[in-house]
């Protein structure tokens, strides 16, 4: 892993230990050449381990301005840094490196905290202003790069990874029941919550400033669905031309690199479009990487990936995930994630990152297209809410309760429960729940429920819906998914799993210019009738075969549910044993055993729920139970 970390003692109660920062840097593991360095002043220690992608020679961090009074450590990439560097040079700034990092200190000199508004890229950074004695932390608009912090006894401890913060003697690994409750409802833990009590995640599009007076968190960017900056009275073809131009622009920007690069290729519309555009831009074959599953049958999407790879003559590589791989790396994956995510693609994402890292140092991915252009089934399914609202509420509630007891039909049951909710926030929160409120009450022990005091995900969704300027039902749904699901599930998983392999993963579809363009599009160009991602598919059809454009979306299917019934069942039974559940005291052992029995018998598909519960137990073992081991990575073997 790579990232930033540091300690700022804003109350100056005692001096910074120069032995502490190296321990925090050591917790941010990285295999291979990197920029690394430390900076100390009388009350601040910051450090950096960064995977070198741009300016491999002179880009060592920390980096300062001309007089050394502004210091920055930075994780990520600034894609418009050459343009910014040119403009800053014309205003008299002198550069000592060719690194994108250095533009940040000079921008700060001119603009102060507003410098973040000029940056086009993915980033988390820590900047120290010696004149103002102020620390500034910042995270990119969409949350591509993570950043965590904790206030402890007059110290602000921060880092790109939670495990780095845990090296501080006053930051303890303790469970946050609110974070656990969010995870059980949503599959992820939304910022600023984490699974750790006392440790917060800086939300996307936010800065945190800290000085002797304390800390202040500020939002500098939000997603707007108004068409203020869009050309008016465009027809469909004109919108398509603008989208095509933007796609080509963002791919070109994201190809900026001084190291070998490639692309993840799933065979879906988004990643296939990225590969197609890369192939048109580059003079050499694109290196592509895909993951499949041993004996997976209908789960494999490798034939679609091969179809695109063959069309563009890419240098294609594949890895097959086996049940043995899952057992061997599951604990390691949780360690790299810092906290569990209820997403069965995590292990596969880790293995394909390991594969790619043997050939390249950077990949482009297709993440974000579904949230920009309405690619999930729930976007079209939510239209049924108008019909559902015509049904008397007692009948809807009864249907929801009965559906949870029916065998199979996981997606259908989620839809029935979501559509039964009387309010928009409850409907959106339950479209992709792990455990809906009724099931969560059965899962949790009485002691855990008493401590939660009735916290619900619906309240959090309601707070986000109050902020958005979106009026249309579809855009309101896209807003919460972009702010929550995308940032705290998909992007977090992608960053952690790629960085675990010392691989940088870039997400060109989430360039904020493209995101803002997509948000302002008329809703019918995203979801037209029942056709999802309408405009993106219209544009991509000129580059991709119909088999890719028109095939049914599968997401990222994995055979874990099938493996949990057979090959990996002993592993699951061991981790989720009755004794283990009783010792932990969070989950009702009988209910967990019932989930497992029904899953094994094939009367229900609880694979996702079981993987989530596995994640919680493994997280406790790796972080809480292992507190005395100083958070060393599990010694599971990695594929060769």
Measured from the Cβ of residue 271, the count of other Cβ atoms closer than 10 Å reads: 25
Label each residue of 93-152 as H, E or C: CCCCCCCCCHHHHHHHHHHHHHHHHHCCEEEEEEEEECCCCEEEEEECCCCCCCCEEEEE
* Residue 639 resides in a domain: no
Question: 187, 432 in Cβ contact below 8 A?
Answer: yes
Tell me which H or E stretch contains 334: helix 323-337
* Residue 68 resides in a domain: yes
Using CA atoms, how far apart are residues 514 and 287, in angstroms rounded to an integer? 25
Using CA atoms, how far apart are residues 465 and 424, in angstroms rounded to an integer? 9
Q: Which of 441, 456, 473 is the last residue of a domain?
A: 473
CATH number, residue 134: 3.60.20.10
Tell me which H or E stretch contains 467: helix 457-467
Q: Are residues 258 and 135 in the same domain?
A: no
Q: Find all residues with CB under 8 Å of 552, minimum gap 6, and list them.
A: none
Burial of 248-269, coded b for 16+ CB within 10 Å and e otherwise, reads eebbebbbbbeeebbbbbbbbb
Q: What is the DSSP track for 228-244?
A: TTSPTT--HHHHHHHHH
Q: Which residue has the tokens 């990996």?
A: 568
Strand partners, 6: 46, 158
Q: Are residues 124 and 202 in the same domain?
A: yes
The strand pair at 287-293 and 261-264 is best described as parallel
pLDDT recorded at residue 636: 46
* Residue 636 resides in a domain: no
Tell me which H or E stretch contains 320: strand 315-321
* Residue 350 resides in a domain: yes
CATH number, residue 536: 3.40.50.620
Integer CA distances (angstroms), 611 to 177, 180, 513, in order: 19, 14, 36
Q: Are residues 332 and 464 in the same domain?
A: no
* Residue 388 resides in a domain: yes
Nearest to 415 by CA among 401, 402, 398, 432: 432
Q: Are residues 184 and 314 in the same domain?
A: no
Residues 93-109: pLDDT tens digits? Answer: 999 888 899 999 999 99
The strand pair at 504-506 and 362-364 is best described as parallel
Examine the residue annotation and report whether 2 is marked as an active-site residue of this protein.
Answer: yes
Nearest to 131 by CA among 112, 151, 159, 114: 112
Q: Are residues 44 and 169 in the same domain?
A: yes
pLDDT recorded at residue 625: 93
Using CA atoms, how far apart are residues 16 and 31, in angstroms rounded to an integer? 28
Q: Are residues 43 and 172 in the same domain?
A: yes
Nearest to 35 by CA among 259, 276, 349, 355: 259
Q: Which domain holds residue 92?
A: 3-219
* Residue 542 resides in a domain: yes
Nearest to 14 by CA among 220, 152, 203: 152
CA 183 to chain centre: 14
Q: Which of 473, 496, 518 is the last residue of a domain?
A: 473
Tell me which H or E stretch contains 46: strand 44-51
Dihedral of the alpha carbons of 222, 223, 227, 231, in degrees to the nearest 10? 100
Using CA atoms, how far apart are residues 377 and 393, in angstroms rounded to an integer? 24
Handedness of CA 106, 110, 115, 121 (dihedral sign): negative
Number of domains forming the structure of the chain: 4
Q: Are residues 150 and 260 in the same domain?
A: no
Q: Give the helix ranges, DSSP H, for 138-221.
A: 162-165, 177-186
Q: Are residues 356 and 482 in the same domain?
A: yes
Q: What is the DSSP track for 487-538?
A: IIIIIHHHHHHHHHTT-EEE-GGG-HHHHHHHHHS-GGGTSBTTBSSHHHHH
Q: Are residues 342 and 485 in the same domain?
A: yes
Q: Which of 504, 520, 549 is the last residue of a domain?
A: 549
Q: Are residues 454 and 567 in the same domain?
A: no
Using CA atoms, how far apart are residues 152 and 62, in angstroms rounded to an integer? 24
Q: Find all residues with CB under 8 Å of 31, minimum gap 6, and list them.
A: 502
Residue 278 exposure: Cα atoms within 13 Å on the Cβ side: 32
CA 485 to chain centre: 8
Q: Are residues 353 and 295 in the same domain?
A: yes
3-state secondary structure (DSSP) of residue 51: strand
- Greatest C-alpha distance within the chain: 72
Residue 633 structure tokens: 């990575």
* Residue 226 resides in a domain: no
- Separation of first and last alpha carbons in the chain: 18
* Residue 637 resides in a domain: no
Q: Are residues 394 and 424 in the same domain?
A: yes
Kindly name the residue from 2, 5, 115, 210 that is annotated as catalytic: 2
pLDDT recorded at residue 452: 79
Q: Give the helix ranges, DSSP H, for 44-101.
A: 81-90
Write out residues in the chain with pLDDT < 50, as ranges. Answer: 32-33, 628-631, 636-640
Residues 14-55: pLDDT tens digits? Answer: 555 556 777 777 777 655 445 566 666 657 777 766 565 555
- What DSSP designation does 468 have? -
């Amino acid at each position: 892993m790579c990232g930033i970390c540091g300690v700022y003692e804003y109350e100056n109660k005692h001096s910074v230990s120069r032995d502490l920062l190296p321990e925090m840097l050591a917790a941010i593991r990285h295999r291979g050449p990197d920029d690394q360095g430390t900076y100390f002043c009388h009350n601040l220690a910051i450090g950096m381990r960064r995977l070198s992608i741009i300016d491999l020679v002179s880009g060592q961090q920390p980096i300062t301005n001309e007089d050394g009074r502004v210091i920055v450590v930075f994780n990520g990439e600034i894609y418009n840094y050459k343009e910014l560097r040119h403009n800053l040079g014309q205003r008299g700034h002198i550069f000592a490196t060719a690194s994108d990092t250095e533009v940040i200190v000079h921008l700060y000199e001119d603009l102060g905290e507003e410098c973040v508004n000029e940056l086009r890229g993915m980033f988390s950074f820590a900047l120290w202003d010696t004149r103002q004695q102020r620390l500034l932390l910042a995270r990119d608009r969409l949350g591509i790069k993570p950043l965590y912090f904790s206030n402890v006894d007059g110290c602000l401890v921060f880092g790109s990874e939670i495990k780095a913060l845990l090296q501080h003697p006053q930051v303890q690994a303790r469970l946050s029941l609110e974070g656990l409750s969010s995870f059980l409802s949503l599959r992820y833990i939304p910022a600023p919550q984490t699974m750790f009590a006392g440790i917060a995640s800086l939300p996307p599009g936010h800065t945190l400033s800290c000085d002797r007076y304390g800390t202040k968190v500020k939002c500098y960017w939000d997603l707007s669905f108004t068409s203020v900056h869009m050309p008016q009275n465009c027809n469909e073809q004109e919108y398509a031309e603008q989208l095509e131009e933007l796609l080509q622009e963002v791919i070109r920007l994201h190809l900026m690199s001084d190291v070998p690069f490639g692309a993840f290729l799933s065979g879906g519309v988004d990643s296939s479009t990225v590969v197609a555009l890369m192939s048109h831009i580059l003079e050499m074959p694109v290196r592509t990487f895909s993951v499949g599953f041993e004996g997976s049958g209908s789960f494999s999407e490798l034939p679609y990936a091969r179809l695109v790879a063959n069309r563009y003559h890419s240098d294609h590589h594949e890895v097959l995930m086996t049940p043995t791989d899952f057992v061997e790396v599951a604990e390691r994956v949780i360690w790299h994630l810092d906290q569990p995510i209820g997403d069965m693609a995590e292990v596969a994402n880790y293995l394909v990152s390991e594969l790619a890292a043997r050939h390249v140092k950077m990949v482009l991915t297709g993440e974000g297209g579904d949230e920009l252009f309405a690619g999930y089934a729930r976007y079209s399914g939510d239209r049924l809410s108008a019909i559902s609202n015509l049904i008397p509420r007692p009948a809807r509630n009864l249907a929801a309760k009965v559906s949870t007891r029916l065998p199979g039909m996981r997606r259908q049951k989620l839809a029935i429960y979501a559509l039964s909710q009387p309010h928009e926030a409850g409907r959106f929160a339950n479209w992709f729940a792990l455990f809906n409120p009724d099931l969560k009450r059965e899962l949790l022990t009485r002691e855990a429920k008493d401590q939660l005091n009735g916290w619900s995900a619906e309240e959090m969704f309601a707070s986000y819906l109050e902020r958005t300027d979106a009026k249309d039902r579809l855009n309101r749904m896209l807003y919460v998914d972009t702010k929550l699901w995308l940032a705290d599930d998909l992007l977090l998983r992608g960053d952690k799993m790629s960085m675990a392999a010392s691989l940088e993963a870039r997400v060109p579809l989430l360039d904020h210019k493209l995101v803002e363009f997509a948000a302002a599009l008329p809703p019918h160009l995203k979801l037209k009738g029942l056709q999802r991602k309408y405009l993106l598919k219209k544009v991509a059809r000129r580059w991709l075969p119909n088999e890719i454009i028109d095939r049914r979306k599968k997401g990222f299917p994995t055979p874990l549910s099938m493996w949990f019934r057979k090959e990996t069942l002993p592993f699951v039974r061991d981790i989720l044993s009755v004794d283990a559940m009783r010792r932990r005291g969070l989950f009702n052992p009988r209910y967990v055993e019932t989930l497992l029995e029904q899953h094994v018998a094939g009367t229900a598909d609880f694979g996702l729920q079981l993987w989530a519960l596995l994640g919680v137990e493994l997280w406790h073992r790796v972080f809480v139970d292992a507190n005395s081991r100083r958070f060393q990575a599990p010694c599971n073997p990695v594929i060769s």
